[in-house]
Chain A
Amino acid sequence: MSVTVKTVLRTEEKMMRDTYCRVLMELAETNENIVALDADLMSSSGMKPFMKAYPSRFVNCGVAEANMVGVAAGMSAMGFVPFAHTFGTFATRRVCDQIFMSAAYAKLNVRIVGTDPGVCAAYNGGTHMPLEDMAVLRAIPEMILVEPTDSVMLENLLPQIAAKRGVYYIRLNRKNAAGVYEPGSAFEIGKGVLLRDGGDVTLFASGIMTAEALEAAKLLSEQGVAARVVNLFTWKPADVELIVESAEKTGAVVTCENHNVVGGLGGAVAETLVKNCPVPVEMVGVQDLFGEVGPEDYLRGRFSLNAADIAAAALRAVKRKA
């Protein structure tokens, strides 16, 4: 793992879905086992170029997500490496049992890609807002759950995801992400990334909350609090070593997720720490509420997902230190 963090964060020029489709097509060129499936959301997932380039290796299953997951599992039993796409809501809670039995329990080789994580579902509203997708799948043994932070990370992770056998859920923001990493950065699934060091509190963040956590660290610095920032882009398997090391070093922790705090990143970190290094943990995320409709900025405010919310939580965590 070799990572360079941008000094100034700017919104990336390319949408994540465009990077996703381009890289998958590049991989498909050399790996003829890669196939893609969609459930009538090809235009949203950005997979049209793949379908045009590899029509026989693209299966549009129609609005039938459960069937799509099973078909993907069946194709993987024939040696194919399927990537199945739909919104995060339908990719998880609607097909939980199909992912469980046909893919995971059967120990097949399947990648589920769920787009529009949490408040990124914005104008599609609460019905389409996956705030529980990671929690639903985290309880399934051997699942690998990743939330790529930006296009640089996505481009680096996809070849690894295509190469290594398993059942993956890729929580994909299809819009333009805040660019955190310099091109050429390399990542390892299951290993978090130390973005900034500090001795007073650790901010564990994922997805769109990563840039917010870096901003929060600056706010805290102005108040004399040194925050360590870690990008935990793999929710399962958790990077136990880095979580424990960070907690031991800083004595207080804040988790930052665009997800329900129940069963998500906060849950994964807390489960790790109660067993290994019990320290005060504050969880920034959606506080067990349903999603709502509106622009992403509004929703970040509505659910207290901004840098200022993280900074306030960090101060609470620091105050709770014995």
Chain B
Amino acid sequence: MNNQNLPLRAAELRLETLRVFEARGFGHVGGAMSVVETLAVLYNGVMRVDPERPDWPERDRLVCSKGHAGPAVYAALAARGYFAKSLLKTLNRPGTTLPSHCDMNRTPGVDMTTGSLGQGVSTAVGLALGQKLRGFDARTYLIVGDGECDEGQVWEGLMLAAHKKLDNLIVFCDKNGQQLDGYVKDVLDTGDLAAKFASFGFFTQSVNGHDTAAIENAALAAVKEGAASHRPSMIVLNTKKGYGCTFAEDQEFNHHIAFTEEQMNGALAAARDKIAALAPAAGEVTA
């Protein structure tokens, strides 16, 4: 039985993520929008975390190796109660606790510093190895981008994860098909990523990365299958870069973009409409 609230949680998270960018007028919009549903799923039931104890040693960890998706991660952390939502407006301001790329020393709830692509794969492998060595029943979740898979280090890390049978490592590959300079197929075609991950020894699933039920089911299957076969898991998320953001979606160059107030207002209105459509009618009880 899926968490029936997830579509609404994801819609709310998309609105909050847009609002993180709103005050700045620019940012890494595309790659933040494409992982919103995954973050909503992770922080609403899948990950075992406690916002009251962000340093709890036995917690599940999240490494967002595509560190430029930080704004979406921050919105998810604020929604989960790690810090006040009012802080979200401080993105990239001098002295902020919310820098453009994830920083474990600045933001409560961020488990690893990322930004230089590929490196989060290795640190996640180290975390998962460490969790096992400590004997913790804990998992490390990792989000990588498909453009990020250009980095050789990604594959070094995946190879070691499979070799060490890290069944507590669950990776999401955000296959949004775009990178900074254009479409992945044009810049550096990564080919059949799912087949590559499977051949690297991962229990690999492909899902619609904007379908929260599908993501949740895949995460639960990953946990189950990982334990059964002692394999790390890969969930390939078929996504759209900029998804749900009216001015970024369907743009070839939406990795880091500037927007007008009018464009943002349009995107916010669309996000609010989505929430209104999903919100339960007055008096309706949600599980």
Contacts and interface: CB of A to CB of B under 8 A. Distances in A.
Count chain A CB atoms within 10 A of each CB in B105, B116, B126 and give the residue with the most.
Answer: B126
Interface in B130-179: 130-131, 133-134, 152-153, 156-157, 159-160, 163-164
A76 B114 CA distance: 15
A107 B130 contact: no
A269 interface: no
A102 B130 contact: no
B112 A64 contact: no
B13 to A, nearest CB: 26
B212 interface: no
Interface class of chain B by DSSP: helix
B122 A62 contact: no
Interface string A67-80: 11111111111111
A75 B126 contact: yes
A98 B117 CA distance: 10
B160 A77 contact: no
A106 B105 contact: yes
Interface stretch (A53-61, A145-153, A206-214): A53-61
Nearest to B115: A101
A70 B126 contact: yes
B122 A80 contact: no
A97 interface: yes
Given A61-B160, A101-B113, A71 B123 contact: yes
A83 to B, nearest CB: 13
Contacts of A98: 119, 122, 153
A64 B155 CA distance: 10
B156 A74 contact: no
B159 A74 contact: no
Contacts of B129: 59, 71, 74-75
Interface in B85-128: 103-105, 111-116, 118-128
B81 interface: no
Contacts, number: 109
A73 B122 contact: yes
Nearest to A100: B116
A21 interface: no
Interface residues on A, range: 20 to 34
Contacts of A79: 57, 130, 134
A187 interface: no
A71 B126 CA distance: 4
Given A62-B160, A101-B119, A70 B125 contact: yes
A78 B131 CA distance: 7
A33 to B, nearest CB: 10
Nearest to B152: A66
A74 to B, nearest CB: 2
Nearest to B118: A66
Nearest to A95: B153
A67 B104 contact: no
A164 B143 CA distance: 32
B133 A80 contact: yes
A67 B160 contact: yes
A197 B96 CA distance: 51
Interface string A90-134: 000000011011100111000000000000000000000000000
Contacts of A68: 122
A197 B133 CA distance: 51
B159 A73 contact: no
Given A62-B159, A77-B112, A106-B104, A70 B122 contact: yes
A35 interface: yes
B126 A106 contact: no
B134 A78 contact: yes
Contacts of B57: 78-79
Contact of A67 (B112, B113, B125, B133): B125
A59 to B, nearest CB: 7
B122 A66 contact: yes
Nearest to A37: B126
B118 to A, nearest CB: 8
Contacts of B131: 78
A70 B130 contact: no
B61 to A, nearest CB: 8
26 contacts: A59-B160, A62-B160, A66-B153, A66-B156, A70-B119, A70-B122, A70-B125, A70-B157, A71-B122, A71-B157, A74-B124, A74-B125, A74-B126, A74-B127, A74-B130, A75-B126, A77-B111, A77-B130, A78-B133, A80-B130, A98-B153, A101-B114, A101-B116, A102-B122, A106-B104, A106-B105
In the A-B complex, the 8 residue pairs with the smallest Cβ-Cβ separation, listed nearest first, are: A74-B126, A70-B122, A78-B130, A67-B156, A106-B113, A74-B123, A64-B156, A71-B126
